[in-house]
Amino acid sequence: MFYREALAAMVEDAIAAKLRGELTGLPSGAVTCMSLLASPDTLGGRDALGSSSGRPLRAAFVVPDHAIEKDHAMSAVKPLEAVARDRAGKGAARAVRRQGQVPAVIYGGGQAPQSIAIDLIRTRTLIYAGGFKTTVFEINAGGKKTRAIPRDFQLDPVSGVPLHVDFLRIVAGQTVTVAVPVHFLNEEAAPGIKKTGGTLNIVHHTLELTVAPDQIPEAIEVDLTGREVGDVIHVSDIKIPAGTYTGDAGEPVANIVPPTVLGAEVEAEEAALAEAQSAESSEEKAEAEAEAGESKDEEKSDKE
């Protein structure tokens, strides 16, 4: 029940953030949560979502079409409310979590680390919305505003609840290295996929860029228009919106493979698995027959 309500709150918070202009696209996690929370009768958003107790959990929401349009501008600075913490350590962190908050720390910039606490639902929404580690936040802790970017976060391995967040303080002239997601566009305009039936084989889902914090792109777009089977897309073929790629420009990002390649591999794996299972069954059958023969010989010896 708790997780159901928390998921609903996360989705509503994400949609509200989208409508305020803080999110540039409806998170895929929100769509997943809507599917999980809604019954077949309410999946279209016509009725209220129901809880297991029969009480309405939360009012259903309708997202306008313009709210899910994709924007490829640079990541905007997002506000994040926080509470300054005067205690650190495991005990203090557990106490923060019991209050529905997530312990966090802001470090770097030649200043002493600052311990803070941020809202659990807000943090979870931001993490699962995607792009969390490429977003610059203006953190307001007790009236003191600090610009920082998430460098790492920890999730509970069972529930997926955020346990801790590390923020890197941003100073003038600084650059950061971030993993920016790669988005592949216009698959329907790629003859190798649409007509030939090829498959897009993605080698890198993200690319690491060294870039100024205020110029971090939301995504790196790869246009597949005109791509044929056998085409290989390298980093050098991609227009990097900002910053510098940290790896080899000749490294492949994706390629289009013929449908028979993957099919043959799957068939070969299935054939090998079937052969191994058949051999194992034959061995087990032979062992069973041998044991049965030994039992009969023993019975015959006992009678004699």
Residue-wise pLDDT tens digits, 185-205: 999 999 999 988 899 999 999
Degrees to nearest 5, angle at CA 128 with 81 and 204: 125
Provide the strand spans (E) within 91-161.
101-108, 111-119, 137-141, 144-155
Give residue 266's pLDDT. Answer: 66
Given pLDDT bands bounded at 50, 70 and 90, which one contains residue 11? low
Q: What is the pLDDT of residues 251-302, one digit of tens each?
A: 999 999 998 755 556 667 777 888 888 777 777 777 777 777 666 666 666 6
Rounded to whole angstroms, the Cα distance separating 130 from 29 reads: 8
Q: Note if the pTM is more than 0.75.
A: no
Give residue 76's pLDDT. Answer: 79
Given pLDDT bands bounded at 50, 70 and 90, which one contains residue 14? low
Question: Is the confidence at residue 15, as pLDDT, over 80?
Answer: no
Residue 96 Cα to chain centre, angstroms: 26
Rounded to whole angstroms, the Cα distance separating 275 from 272 reads: 5
Which of the pair, 48 or 266, is modelled with greater confidence?
Answer: 266
Residue 289 Cα to chain centre, angstroms: 53
Asked if 140 and 37 touch (Cβ cutoff 8 Å), the reply is no
Q: Which domains does the chain have, with CATH numbers?
A: 1-71 (no CATH), 74-171 (2.40.240.10), 176-257 (2.170.120.20)
Kindly state the average pLDDT of the residues 79-106.
90
Rg over alpha carbons for the chain, rounded to the nearest Å, is 27
Asked if 148 and 139 touch (Cβ cutoff 8 Å), the reply is yes
Question: Is the confidence at residue 32, as pLDDT, over 60?
Answer: no
Q: What is the pLDDT of residues 134-179, one digit of tens each?
A: 899 999 998 899 999 999 999 999 999 999 999 999 988 889 999 9
Q: What's the half-sphere exposure (Cβ side, CA atoms, 13 Å) at 267? A: 6
Burial of 233 (0-12, 13-18, 19+ CB in 10 A): buried
Residues written for the chain? 304
Any idea which of 19-28, 60-69, 156-165, 282-291 has the lowest mean pLDDT?
A: 60-69
Residue type at 271?
A
Kindly state the average pLDDT of the residues 87-116.
90
Kindly state the average pLDDT of the residues 94-101.
92
Rounded to whole angstroms, the Cα distance separating 40 from 272 reads: 41
Closest CA to 216 of 249, 174, 184, 254: 174
Kindly state the average pLDDT of the residues 210-219.
88
